[in-house]
């Protein structure tokens, strides 16, 4: 008889995790208000405007620009920084494709670099080594919600005159030394896609403290218009990246829960760190002591199959899912994606881009290892109570005890 749920045994998880997304009367009323106001377009309404000001204030940023999604937030940022053909932007190899594809939207070249083996965030030494005279910006990704080393990255970007952009799609309300991420560089971009820690199904925002940048980004997102000028005057290249009032209204309601939900996820993740660290072969993502709060879009940990009788990471993930713990593999490293390996990305570059093909042949051992050996739990599992945390750890222990059933 099988003990593991994968083979027909009783699942370890006894009660369901909290559902996601969460909503209540606040969202219901906000949506009704938009409906009845007949202002469904941000150009006429103010729900989206109110939300972007509130989100910026929460992060102690001067400006917030709500946009259609987190990918577009990066694309607008790159366009507003006037980065294009012949320019290079450094990004981590270990991230969602949007971080790099957004750079290609203006014809600039994403330069991939490896990550830190313990935090899975961009490696500042690798960033420094990748800088060339063509480097115009560095985009860092706060992986899973854990801030990158902002001390070193702000210093490196400043010394080389490169714009620092924080892709904070995973890191709403995360803090580095008590300061919210998304506010360290010229711009911080966020996503409100369905699985994120605040959502309207889709959506994004760009935070900034730079008035000139915000003005240009606002124009890029609204067809190249300028505030105060005639509606049919267009001054720079832009497109329609405007967020609707429906989404602005829902996000305003979601924001009221962000602080408490972040505190809960941060607390539960620390409890889970203690429990999982005690299990041979499991090493949680390292929590840098300068990370004063981790928003935890994902909970990541390293899995050593040797402590599980050699069961593959894929088998381990299947086994934990069957036990009732939602578990997934991480991002494939960008350099290994067909889009890059086939050379298709080159169609976006200028004929004289001077690209050396390094992207396809360079080794990225740490991000490759992350794909093979790092496992993620999605954020809603951290919104439960201490029993949920205990049951996650017990499920991992159970899979280890009966790992022979996985072989
Ligand atoms: C690191 C990262 N950057 C950017 C994005 C893009 O956000 P969106 O899906 O809202 O376009 C995501 C989305 O999942 C992401 O994980």
What percent of the chain lies above the pLDDT cut of 90?
94
pLDDT of residue 356: 61
Question: Which residue's CA is the nearest one to ligand 1's atom 7?
Answer: 70
Residue 165 lies in a domain: yes
CA angle 26, 32, 34 (to 5 degrees): 105
What confidence tens digit (pLDDT) does each residue in 219-243 have?
999 999 998 999 999 999 999 999 9
Is residue 163 situated within a structural domain? yes
Q: Is residue 357 pLDDT above 70, yes or no?
A: no
Q: Kindly report, residue by residue over 5-58, the tens digit of the pLDDT.
A: 999 999 999 899 999 999 999 999 999 999 999 999 999 999 999 999 999 999
CA atoms within 13 Å, Cβ hemisphere of 157: 22
CB contact at 8 A, 322 and 6: yes
Q: Does residue 128 have a pLDDT over 70?
A: yes
Q: What is the pLDDT of residues 249-280, one digit of tens each?
A: 999 999 999 999 999 999 999 999 999 999 99
Residue among 193, 201, 330 to mutate when testing ligand 1 (max atoms within 8 A of CB): 193
Would residue 193 show up in a list of annotated catalytic residues for this protein?
yes
159 within domain boundaries: yes
pLDDT of 56-69, one tens digit each? 999 999 999 999 99
**In the sheet that 282-284 helps form, which strands lie side by side, from edge to edge?**
282-284, 298-303, 374-378, 328-329
CATH assignment at residue 132: 3.40.640.10
Indicate which atom in ligand 1 lies nearest the CA of residue 167.
3
The token duo for 173 is 């309300």
Task: Look at residue 165 and give its three-state secondary structure.
Answer: strand
pLDDT at residue 160 greater than cutoff 80: yes
Q: Is 191 in the pocket of ligand 1 (CB under 6 A)?
A: yes
What pLDDT score was predicted for residue 127?
A: 96
Give the total number of structural domains in the chain.
Answer: 1
Instruction: Classify each residue of 11-27 as buried b or exposed e, where b means 16 or more C-beta atoms within 10 Å of its C-beta.
Output: bbbeeebeeebeeeebb
Residue 368 lies in a domain: no
Residue 307 within any structural domain of the chain? no
Ligand 1 close to Cβ of residue 247 (< 6 A): no
| Ligand 1 pocket residue status of 273, Cβ below 6 Å | no
Has residue 18 been placed in a domain?
no
Range of the domain at 117: 25-254
Question: What mean pLDDT comes out for the span 96-107?
Answer: 97
Residue of 181, 191, 201, 367 to mutate, ligand 1, most atoms within 8 A of C-beta: 191
Residue 100: helix, strand or coil by DSSP?
Answer: helix
> What is the reported pLDDT for 303?
98
- Name the region of 203 (left: φ>0; alpha: ψ -120 to 50; beta: rest): left
pLDDT of residue 350: 84
Residue 33 in domain: yes
pLDDT digit string (tens) for 276-331? 999 999 999 999 999 999 999 999 999 999 999 999 999 999 999 999 999 999 99
The answer to whether residue 36 is domain-embedded is yes
225 is catalytic: yes
Indicate if 242 belongs to the active site: yes
């Amino acid at each position: 008889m099988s003990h593991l749920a994968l083979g027909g045994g009783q699942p370890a998880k006894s009660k369901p995790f909290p559902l996601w997304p969460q909503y209540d009367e606040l969202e219901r009323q906000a949506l009704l208000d938009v409906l009845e106001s007949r202002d469904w377009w941000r150009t006429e309404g103010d729900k989206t405007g109110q939300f972007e000001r509130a989100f910026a204030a929460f992060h102690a940023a001067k400006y917030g620009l709500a946009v259609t999604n987190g990918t577009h937030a990066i694309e607008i940022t790159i366009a507003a920084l006037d980065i294009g053909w012949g320019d290079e932007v450094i990004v981590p190899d270990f991230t969602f494709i949007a971080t790099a594809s957004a750079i290609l939207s203006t014809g600039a070249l994403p330069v991939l670099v490896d990550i830190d083996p313990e935090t899975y965030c961009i490696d500042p030494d690798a960033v420094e080594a990748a800088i060339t005279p063509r480097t115009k910006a560095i985009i860092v990704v706060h992986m899973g919600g854990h801030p990158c080393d902002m001390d070193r990255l702000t210093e490196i970007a400043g010394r080389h005159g490169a714009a620092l952009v924080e892709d904070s799609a995973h890191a709403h309300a995360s803090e580095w030394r008590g300061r919210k991420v998304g506010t360290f560089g010229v711009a911080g971009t966020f996503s409100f896609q369905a699985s994120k820690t605040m959502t309207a199904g889709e959506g994004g925002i760009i935070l900034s403290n730079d008035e000139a940048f915000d003005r240009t980004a606002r124009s890029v997102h609204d067809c190249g218009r300028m505030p105060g000028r005639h509606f049919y005057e267009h001054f720079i290249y832009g497109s329609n990246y405007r967020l609707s009032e429906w989404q602005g209204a829902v996000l305003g309601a979601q924001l009221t829960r962000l602080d408490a939900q972040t505190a809960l996820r941060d607390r539960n993740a620390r409890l889970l760190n203690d429990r999982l660290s005690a299990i041979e072969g499991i090493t949680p993502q390292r929590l840098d002591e300068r990370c004063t709060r981790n928003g935890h879009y994902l909970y990541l940990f390293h899995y050593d199959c040797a402590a599980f009788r050699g069961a593959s990471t894929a088998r381990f993930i299947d086994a934990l899912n069957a036990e009732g713990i939602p578990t997934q593999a991480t991002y494939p490293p960008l350099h290994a994606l067909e889009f890059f390996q086939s050379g298709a990305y080159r169609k976006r570059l200028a004929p004289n881009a001077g690209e050396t093909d390094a992207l396809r042949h360079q080794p990225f051992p740490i991000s490759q290892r992350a794909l093979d050996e790092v496992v993620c739990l999605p954020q809603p599992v951290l919104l439960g109570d201490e029993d949920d945390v205990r049951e996650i750890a017990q499920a991992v222990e159970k899979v280890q005890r009966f790992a022979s059933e996985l072989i």
